[in-house]
Structure 1
Amino acid sequence: MKAIVWWYRMGLICGLGSTILVWGNEEAPLDRQQVSSLRTNDAPGEEGTCIDKHECLSIELTNWFKKMAVERKSDEILCQDHNLIQEETSSKTGGITEDEVKPIFEVTDCKMEGATWKYRYQGAKGKNRIFHGKGKLSFTKHSSPPHGYDFGMKTGRCLLVDADIESIEGWFIEGIVQGEAEITYFDGRQHKVTVNSGVMAGLVREFGDEMDPITGRPKLEKRLYGLKFMHRGQPHSIHWELRDNEVKVLRDQDQNQLLVVVPNNQTWMYLYGPLDDDDMMLQARQAKLTHIIYRNCLAIPQFEPFGETFDYDLQILGKTKATVAKLIRFFEIAANEKEKLDTRFQVDPDPVDLSNAEILFRLNGDPSQKPFLSVTTLDGPSKAIFEGGQRGSVLTGQGVMKIVSEYRRKDVMPLASNSSEETDTQNATTTTMPSNELQIEAYLNEMLTYDALPFRLGHVKKIQSIHGHFSSGVLNGLAKVSFTDGTVWEGLTKEGVWHGVVRYLERPFTKGRRKRFIGRIVEDVILSGSTMSKDDQIAEVEFFGTYKNGYINGPGWKFQIGGSFLFGDFQRSSTFTTNEGAYINQDLETGYVGSFQEGKMMAGQVAPVIGHTIQNGVAVPTFGPAHGPVYRFVAPSDTTDELTDPLVADSTEEIWVYVKASQVSAKAGEGLFAKKEIPSNTVVSFFGGLRMSFNEWNSTKPIDPEYWIKVNDKEVIYLPSEFGRDTSKYRATLGHKINHSFSAWNCMFHAMDHPRFGTIPAVRTTEKVEPDQELLCLYEIQYHEGAPWFQELWRQELDYDIPIGPFGHRGNKSSPGEPMPVMLSNGTFFQEFYQHAIEVLKLDPQT
Structure 2
Amino acid sequence: MEKKNRKFLTDWLLNKEEEYEKEFTKDFIQTNENKEEEIKQIKFYHLFDITEDKYNENNFQITLDEDTGLSTIIKLKCWVWPQYSQFGRLKSNAALHHIIARVSEDDYLEENSCIKLYYTDGTSCFSKIKNGILHGDTLRYFKDELIWIGQVVDGKGRGNCLSREHEGGGIIFGQVDENGEHTGDNIVYIYPDCKTALIGEFEQTNLIEASLGKVTCIYTENNWINIEVRDSGRYERYSYSPSDYDGLISNNPLLSDPYESSIIEIRNSGMKGGGEGIYATKDIPCGSLASIYNGVKYPLGCFLGKDCDSDEEIYEALSYNIHMPQDENFFLDIPKKFRDVSNYCATLGHKVNHSFKPNCEFSTMFHPRFGRVRTVVATQLIKKGEELFVDYGYDLIRCPEWYRELHKTQIEGTASKNMN
TM-score class, shorter = 0.7 to 0.9
8 Å contact 1:657–1:672 — kept in the other structure?
yes
Task: State the match for 2:99 in structure 1.
Answer: 465
1:573-621 alpha-carbon deviations (Å, 9 max, x no partner): 2544343322111111221112222322111222111222435643121
| Alignment length (residue pairs) | 366
Larger Rg: 1
SS in 2 for 1:563: coil
Contact conserved, 1:687 with 1:735, CA < 8 A, in 2?
yes
1:767: how far off?
2.4
1:700-758, Cα deviation, whole Å (9 max, x unpaired): 5753143222222333211112311x111000011111111102x22222111211111
In structure 2, C-alpha distance between the alignment counterparts of 1:602 and 1:634, rounded to whole Å: 9
C-alpha distance 777-634 of structure 1, shift in aligned 2 (>3 A): same
SS in 2 for 1:790: helix
Match of 2:335 among 712, 715, 720: 720
Question: Structure 1 runs of 4+ off > 6 angstroms?
Answer: 386-389, 469-472
1:440-460 CA distance string (max 9 Å, x none): xxxxxxxxx53xx5x643547
Secondary structure of 1:668's counterpart equals: coil
Q: Distance in 2 between matches of 1:475 and 1:698?
A: 59
What letter is aligned with 1:327?
A: L
Amino acid aligned to 1:491: S
Distance 1:592 1:781, change over 3 A: farther
**Paired residues of 1:746 and 1:777 also in contact (CA < 8 A):** yes
* Distance (Å, rounded) in 2 between the aligned partners of 1:784 and 1:553: 58
Q: Distance in 2 between matches of 1:779 and 1:763?
A: 12
Q: CA deviation at 1:468?
A: 3.7
The answer to whether the 8 Å contact 1:697/1:716 transfers is no
Contact 2:163 2:171 in 1 (8 A): yes
Following the alignment from structure 1 to structure 2, what is the Cα–Cα distance between the partners of residues 732 and 461? Answer: 38
**1:322 and 2:4 aligned:** yes
SS at match of 2:342: coil
Aligned partners of 2:250, 2:386: CA distance in 1, in Å?
30
Match of 2:140 in 1: 504
Q: How far off its partner does 1:466 sit?
A: 5.1
- 1:122-158 Cα offsets, whole Å, 9 max, x none, are xxxxxxxxxxxxxxxxxxxxxxxxxxxxxxxxxxxxx
Among 262, 266, 291, the residue aligned to 1:655: 262
Counterpart residue type for residue 541 of structure 1? L
Which residue of the other structure, out of 93, 110, 125, is the alignment partner of 1:489? 125
Is residue 548 from structure 1 mapped to residue 156 from structure 2 by the alignment? no
Aligned-partner residue type, residue 251 of structure 2: T
The aligned counterpart of 1:779 is 392
Q: State the distance in 2 between where 1:600 and 1:786 align.
A: 40
Conserved? CA contact 2:284–2:382, under 8 Å: yes
1:655 Cα deviation after fit: 0.8
The structure carrying a bigger strand percent of its residues is 1
Deviations, residues 174-232 of structure 1 (Å, cap 9, x unaligned) = xxxxxxxxxxxxxxxxxxxxxxxxxxxxxxxxxxxxxxxxxxxxxxxxxxxxxxxxxxx
Write the distance in 2 (CA, Å) between the matches of 1:378 and 1:343: 24
Q: Which AA in structure 2 matches 1:719?
A: I
SS at match of 2:301: helix
Matched residue of 2:162: which SS?
Answer: strand
Instruction: Name the amino acid aligned to 1:475.
Output: E
| Residue type at the aligned position of 1:457 | W
The one-letter amino acid paired with 1:559 is: R
Identify which of 224, 245, 252 aligns with 1:638: 245
Correspondence for 1:676: 282
Give the aligned partner of residue 351 of structure 2: 737
SS at match of 1:707: coil
CA separation in 2, counterparts of 1:662 and 1:575?
A: 44
TM-superposed deviation, 1:631: 0.5
How far residue 325 of structure 1 moved from its aligned partner, in angstroms, is 2.0
Kindly, what percent of the aligned residue pairs are identical?
Answer: 22
Q: Which residue of 2 aligns with 1:379?
A: 49
C-alpha distance in structure 2 between counterparts of 1:377 and 1:697, whole Å = 47
The reply to whether residue 588 of structure 1 matches residue 194 of structure 2 is yes
Aligned residues of 1:341 and 1:491 also touching (Cα < 8 A): no
| CA 668–461 in structure 1, closer or farther in 2 if over 3 Å, else same | same
Question: Residue 214 of structure 2 aligns with which residue?
Answer: 608
**In 1, Cα distance between equivalents of 2:206 and 2:378:** 27
Of 202, 212, 229, 1:623 maps to 229
Amino acid paired to 2:145: E
Task: Please say if residues 208 and 239 of structure 2, whose CA atoms lie closer than 8 Å, have aligned partners that are also in contact.
Answer: yes
Which consecutive unaligned segments of at least 5 residues does structure 1 have?
Answer: 1-310, 312-319, 348-360, 364-372, 390-396, 403-448, 508-538, 801-847
Query: What's 2:112 paired with?
Result: 476
Alignment of 1:131-150 (within 5 A): none
Tell me if structure 2 keeps the 8 A contact 1:475–1:494.
Answer: yes
Q: CA deviation at 1:554?
A: 1.8
> Deviations along 1:449-504, whole A, 9 cap, x unmatched?
53xx5x64354723423514779855213112233555421112333321211112
CA distance in 1 between counterparts of 2:64 and 2:217 reads 45
Q: Which protein, 1 or 2, shows the higher relative CO under an 8 Å CA cutoff with sep ≥ 6?
A: 2
Measured in 1, the distance between the counterparts of 2:99 and 2:15 equals 25
Q: Partners in 1 of 2:376 and 2:226 — Cα distance?
A: 28
Distance change (3 Å), C-alpha of 1:588 and 1:469: farther
**1:753 match:** 366
1:272-311 correspondence to structure 2 within 5 Å: none
Aligned to 2:418: none
**2:21 aligned with 1:341:** yes
In structure 2, what is the equivalent of residue 686 of structure 1? 292
- Name the CA distance, whole Å, in 2 between partners of 1:785 and 1:566: 43
Q: Distance in 2 between matches of 1:482 and 1:328?
A: 24
Tell me the secondary structure at the aligned position of residue 135 of structure 2: strand
Q: Deviation at 1:774?
A: 1.5
Report if aligned partners of 2:102, 2:109 keep a CA contact under 8 Å in 1.
no
- Taking structure 1 as the reference length, what is the TM-score of the superposition? 0.39
- What are the superposed Cα offsets for residues 676-719 of structure 1, whole Å, 9 maximum, x if unpaired? 33333322211112112333358957531432222223332111
Task: Map 1:23-62 onto structure 2 (within 5 A).
Answer: none
Asked whether the 8 Å contact 2:103–2:109 carries over to 1, the reply is no
Partners of 1:591 and 1:609 within 8 A in 2: yes
Distance 1:458 1:545, change over 3 A: closer
Superposed displacement of residue 543, structure 1: 1.6
User: Residues of 2 paired with 1:486 and 1:720: CA distance?
Assistant: 35
| TM-score, normalization by structure 2 | 0.76
Residue 786 of structure 1: CA displacement?
Answer: 4.1
Secondary structure at the counterpart of residue 749 of structure 1: strand
1:353-389 deviation digits (Å, cap 9, x = unpaired): xxxxxxxx954xxxxxxxxx8x433534352668779
Question: 1:734/1:340 Cα in 2 relative to 1: closer, same or farther (>3 Å)?
Answer: same
Alpha carbons 1:593, 1:626 under 8 Å: kept:
no
Paired letter, 2:131: E
Shift of 1:649: 0.6
- Where structure 2 has 5 or more consecutive residues not aligned to the other structure, the ranges are 28-40, 82-93, 309-313, 414-420
3-state SS of 1:377 partner = helix
- Alignment of 1:768 with 2:381, yes or no, is yes
Distance 2:99 2:56 in 1: 8
Match of 1:332 among 1, 10, 14: 14
Q: One-letter code of the match for 1:662?
A: S
